[in-house]
Amino acid sequence: MAKKNNISVEIKDILGKLTIEDLQIKGKRVFIRADLNVPFDDNMVITDDRRIRSTLPTVNYAIDEGAKVIIGSHLGRPKGRVEPRFSLAPVAKRLQRLLNKEVLFANDCIGPQPEGIVSKMKNGDVLLLENLRFHPGEEKNDEAFARSLAKLADFYVNDAFGAAHRSHASTAGITKFLPSAAGFLLKKEIEYLKGVVDNPVRPFVAVLGGAKVSGKIGVLENLANKVDKVIVGGGMAYTFIKAMGYEIGDSLVESDMLDVAANIIDKLRRNNVKFYLPVDSVIAQSLEPGAETKIVTAQEIPKGWRALDIGPASVKLFSEALQNAKTIIWNGPMGVFEIDAFSRGTFSIAHAVADAYALTIVGGGDTDYAVHRAGVSDAITFISTGGGASLQLLEGKDLPGISALTDRKD
């Protein structure tokens, strides 16, 4: 049961796959695919460890059950080469601190060195493997590489929702060789992003932002038959405004998506879905610090100026549209919120979503960061750990990393 401001939704088991609780793991070697792809500063210090924390319930469960825990993850995009700046060694130290127990670290993810460490592990021990993407076979879903990973374990558990939309060796290929199950985080992501969206408490409102319509078309198409209201902000809003025949100055526009945008507006109208676009915008001629800004109506942006945030009237309109919502899903910021001058729209909507008497789901890395910057993350029902994966799920598509898991036989 999920609860938020006295709103409750019965979360049903819709995964249809084995979970870690179905496995008899005591004394067994368990390969947990986690998403430990965390950000670092210039001094190689982790600046945000939420992805590490999010997989702790699965890791702790395996430890408590007496398994030998082998964790694999990617970090960054080394493109099949060993690059020290993408080493998971600092992550092992942070994981050790969070688990409050020793975490062994292997300098590779396959071969004699990790195999030797695994052979000496005791029940409850934890080993983190070096970056999976240091091997080209990972992203190519190479069978030999997947088989080498599988040699390390008796069971496979996928808890890396952020990588579940990738058909890689550690998310799909390895499942050919081991009984495979979902971790707690992966299960929770599916239950919220699919279960709640397919059976929402109404009114159901989708808030979409970010730069491009093209990245959200599938989501709009899928949600058009399910939501009661759609709110669109961010750069993608101006493709819609341009499609309606209005002047948008030098604002971001996908010219090849104008017809698609017009068709989406028409589809939403036919489905009696209320559709909200910005009515005013914060504009500037550049993103330079100290650049002059103006607030103008969204349909009258002058040449040489571009919209970089929604304006105060749009904030009021969108906030009022959210007030009676019972389910809200938000993916994508309202503007260039990383710059203070263009952050007010995104942060205001973050507060409006958090204050709503609703079950609230936030998806996408930028939106996740925005709600944390706004200081309201604790008031959001569920924050997804996957950007591309959450979008694909909201489009109604299957994810390779989930499809590959062993089916539950009830």
Q: Are strands 7-9 and 2-4 parallel, antiparallel or unpaired?
A: antiparallel
Beta bridge partners, 213, equal none
**Short-list 279, 204, 172, 195, CA closest to 11:** 195
Site of tokens 């059976």: 199
The catalytically annotated residue of 4, 29, 33, 51 is 51
- The helix-helix angle for 56-64 and 89-99 (nearest 10°) equals 60
Query: What radius of gyration, in Å, describes the C-alpha atoms of the chain?
Result: 23
Is 290 in the active site? no
Two tokens at 130? Answer: 């070096």
* Burial environment of residue 134 by CB neighbours within 10 A (0 to 12, 13 to 18, 19 or more): buried
Q: Which of 286, 246, 249, 284 shows the shortest CA–CA distance to 265?
A: 246
Check 194, 365, 373, 396 and give the catalytic one: 365
Among left, alpha and beta (phi > 0; psi -120 to 50; other), residue 198 is alpha
Please state whether the peptide bond connecting residue 203 to the residue before it is cis, i.e. omega within 30 degrees of 0.
yes
The answer to whether 208 and 227 are in contact (CB under 8 A) is no
The Cα 44–Cα 157 span in angstroms is 29
**Can you tell me the distance from the alpha carbon of 362 to that of 364, in angstroms, rounded to the nearest whole number?**
7
d(CA 366, CA 45): 20
CB atoms within 10 A of CB 5: 14
C-alpha neighbours within 13 Å on the C-beta side of residue 390: 27
* Residue 326 is among the residues annotated as catalytic for this protein: no
Q: How many CB atoms lie within 10 A of CB 208?
A: 25
For the four alpha carbons of 349, 350, 351 and 353, in that order, the dihedral sign comes to positive
- The two tokens of residue 156 are 């496979």
Which candidate in 28, 151, 212, 267 is catalytic? 212
Residue 212 designated active-site: yes
DSSP string, 319-359: HHHHTT-SEEEEES-SS-TTSGGG-HHHHHHHHHHHHSSSE
Q: Is 202 a catalytic residue?
A: no
* 266 C-beta neighbours (distance < 10 Å), count: 10
Residue labelled with tokens 């179905």 = 22
Tokens standing for residue 186: 């992966």
- Residues forming the active site: 51, 212, 365, 388
